[in-house]
């Protein structure tokens, strides 16, 4: 149920000596987000805003499974329950084309958001259509896919000696996919219940897609042309094929039954001594440095997604931007909140609370990078992120990717080339169906 934030004086007539009746109304904003720790941090930040301005902030949450449905049900009803929403980047197409988000292009330009935030985050959290220069949100909760690893395994002198003898170079945090694959192979010891790596394989939503994108983007591959929607020759390019082949190879070094793995399982790979390295969103790394939730916390390190064979280094984007809802009765106040939110000092507070800032000056500061064991890897990542399609039909595109990629990665069905050729045909047909290509 929506929390009422009106003042207790609202609606109560106060009779003055002259007989005039006035009404006191407390200014307030309601922000809608999914139910997780960053939403709690945003509420704390909102409490700071109330102290400074007198405007009450209520962060209303709902479980992740219901988040999109509940948000778009309210949007489609043109309801005013929410003034702002922290929505997924994939919503940009549907929310902007449906008239649900306020166009923030002028706000972005006037407030120099492109100068304040890491450019890649503005491009993928805020801009739609791709390369259009039109913006619908402000980067809020930065996130991407990075890696955790077992420092004690990597730094064991015997392991280091054995690794160098086998591969001809020092065992260290991998800088390339080749090195990461070598390390995964080296530590893969089923007879010891020890495995090389944990990757995303769940295909119910975007787990597998995010994992595959980590390889695809660093191999120099792309999903397609976001301006023309051309996909043939891009998603099935030689670089994309090589990326899929490598992701399939990494799957061979995962723990047994690793066919439906996402963020929970991949953290367990570290906490339960299963794998040398584990892929996950940065948003789930805080529990890995907490000894209460990770008995290996002191021996857990972190690194950014490595470079591919051509030297490109990118990572799959997670996280969300914050948008003003078109049907809000408090759009002017919502804009004032956004102006406050993007200030450097506010972003420092956001980061200190536990939010993942996208602010360039904060990310680049030694204070931020040294604050946690994973902040440096997060900084390295957030200037090198890429995202999935943000068009309204993204759910169909995602389902088609899952249906094609999963059987190849998990079961080894067919070849990477055949699989990606089929995906290109699927996507081309979908874009034709929606009139994006002829």
Instruction: Tell whether the model's pLDDT for residue 115 goes beyond 90.
Output: yes
- Residue 248: both structure tokens together: 């399939």
Q: What is the pLDDT of residues 352-366, one digit of tens each?
A: 999 999 999 999 999
pLDDT mean over 112-141 = 96
Report pLDDT for 21: 34
Question: What is each CA distance from 19 to 11, 53, 108, in whole angstroms?
Answer: 17, 31, 47
Percentage, residues of the chain above pLDDT 90: 93
Averaged confidence pLDDT in the chain: 93
Instruction: Tell whether the model's pLDDT for residue 2 goes beyond 60.
Output: no
Instruction: Tell whether the model's pLDDT for residue 147 goes beyond 60.
Output: yes
The model's confidence at residue 17, banded by pLDDT at 50, 70 and 90, is very low
Report pLDDT for 6: 32
Report pLDDT for 253: 98
Q: What is the pLDDT of residues 59-100, one digit of tens each?
A: 999 999 899 999 999 999 999 999 999 999 999 999 999 999
With beta carbons less than 8 A apart as the criterion, state whether 149 and 278 touch: yes
Report pLDDT for 209: 97
Buried b (16+ CB within 10 A) or exposed e, 1-19: eeeebeeeeeeeeeeeeee
Return d(Cα 67, Cα 231) in angstroms, integer: 30
Of 2-16, 283-297, 379-393, 399-413, least confident by mean pLDDT is 2-16
Report pLDDT for 19: 39
Report pLDDT for 11: 35
- The pTM for the full model equals 0.90
Percentage, residues of the chain above pLDDT 70: 94
Report pLDDT for 289: 97
pLDDT mean over 177-185 = 98
For residue 85, what are the β-bridge partners?
32, 323
pLDDT mean over 344-352 = 97
CA dihedral 350→112→92→203, nearest 10 degrees, is -50
Report pLDDT for 26: 76
Return d(Cα 90, Cα 119) in angstroms, integer: 18
pLDDT mean over 32-39 = 96
């Amino acid at each position: 149920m929506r929390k009422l934030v009106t003042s207790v004086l609202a609606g109560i007539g106060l009779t003055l000596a002259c007989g005039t009746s006035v009404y006191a109304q407390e200014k307030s904003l309601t922000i809608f987000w999914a139910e997780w720790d960053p939403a709690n941090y945003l509420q704390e930040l909102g409490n700071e805003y109330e102290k400074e301005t007198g405007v009450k902030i209520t962060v209303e949450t709902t479980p992740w499974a219901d988040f999109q449905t509940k948000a778009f049900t309210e949007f489609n009803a043109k309801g005013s329950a929410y003034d702002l929403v922290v929505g997924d980047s994939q919503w940009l197409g549907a929310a902007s084309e449906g008239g649900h988000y306020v166009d923030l292009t002028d706000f972005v330009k006037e407030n120099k958001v492109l100068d304040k935030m890491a450019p890649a985050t503005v491009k993928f959290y805020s801009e739609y259509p791709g390369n259009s220069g039109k913006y619908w949100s402000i980067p809020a909760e930065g996130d991407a896919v990075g890696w955790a690893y077992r420092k004690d395994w990597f730094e064991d002198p015997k392991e280091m000696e054995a690794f160098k003898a086998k591969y001809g170079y020092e065992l260290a945090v991998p800088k390339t996919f080749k090195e990461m694959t070598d390390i995964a192979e080296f530590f893969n010891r089923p007879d010891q219940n020890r495995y090389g790596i944990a990757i995303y394989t769940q295909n119910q939503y975007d787990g597998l897609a995010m994992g595959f994108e980590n390889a695809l983007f660093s191999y120099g591959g792309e999903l397609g042309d976001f301006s023309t929607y051309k996909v043939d020759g891009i998603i099935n390019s030689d670089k994309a094929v090589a990326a899929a082949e490598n992701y399939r190879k990494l799957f061979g070094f995962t723990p047994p039954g690793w066919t439906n793995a996402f963020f929970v399982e991949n953290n367990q790979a570290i906490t339960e001594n299963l794998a040398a390295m584990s892929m996950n969103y940065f948003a789930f790394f805080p529990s890995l440095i907490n000894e209460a939730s990770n008995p290996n916390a002191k021996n857990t390190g972190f690194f950014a997604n490595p470079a591919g064979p051509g030297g490109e280094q990118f990572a799959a984007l997670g996280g969300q931007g914050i948008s003003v809802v078109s049907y809000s009765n408090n759009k002017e106040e919502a804009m004032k909140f956004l102006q406050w939110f993007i200030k450097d000092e506010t972003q420092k507070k956001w980061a200190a609370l536990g939010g993942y800032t996208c602010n360039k000056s904060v990310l680049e500061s030694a204070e931020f990078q040294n604050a946690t064991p994973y902040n440096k890897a997060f900084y390295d990542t957030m200037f090198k992120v890429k995202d999935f399609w943000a068009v309204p039909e993204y759910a169909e595109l995602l389902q088609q990717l899952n249906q094609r990629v999963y059987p190849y990665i998990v079961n080894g069905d067919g070849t990477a080339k055949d699989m990606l050729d089929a995906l290109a045909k699927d996507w081309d047909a979908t874009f034709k169906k929606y009139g994006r290509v002829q």
